[in-house]
Amino acid sequence: MFRPSLAAHAGKAASYDVNLVRDPEGKRQIVLMPADSTEAQVIEQVNKDKYALNSWSKFQGYCVEQLQAQSENELYPRKLKEWTLGTLAGVLSFPLISLLLGVFIGWVWRGFRPTKQ
Is 60 exceeded by the pLDDT of residue 65?
yes
Nearest CA among 47, 45, 50 for reference residue 32: 45
Which residues contact residue 42 at a Cβ distance below 8 angstroms, ignoring those fewer than 6 apart?
Answer: 19, 21, 31, 33
Is 70 exceeded by the pLDDT of residue 14?
no
pLDDT-derived band at 69 (thresholds 50, 70, 90) equals confident
DSSP 10-66: TT--S-EEEEEEE-TTS-EEEEEEETT--HHHHHHHHHHHHHHHHHHHHHHHHHHHH
* Residue 87 pLDDT: 92
Sign for the CA dihedral angle at 17, 25, 47, 62 comes to positive
**DSSP 8-state secondary structure symbol assigned to residue 78:** H
Is 80 exceeded by the pLDDT of residue 55?
no
Average pLDDT over residues 59-81: 84
Residues 1 and 14: beta-carbon distance below 8 Å? no
Question: Whole-model pTM?
Answer: 0.34
Is 60 exceeded by the pLDDT of residue 36?
yes
* Residue 1 pLDDT: 43
Is 50 exceeded by the pLDDT of residue 2?
no
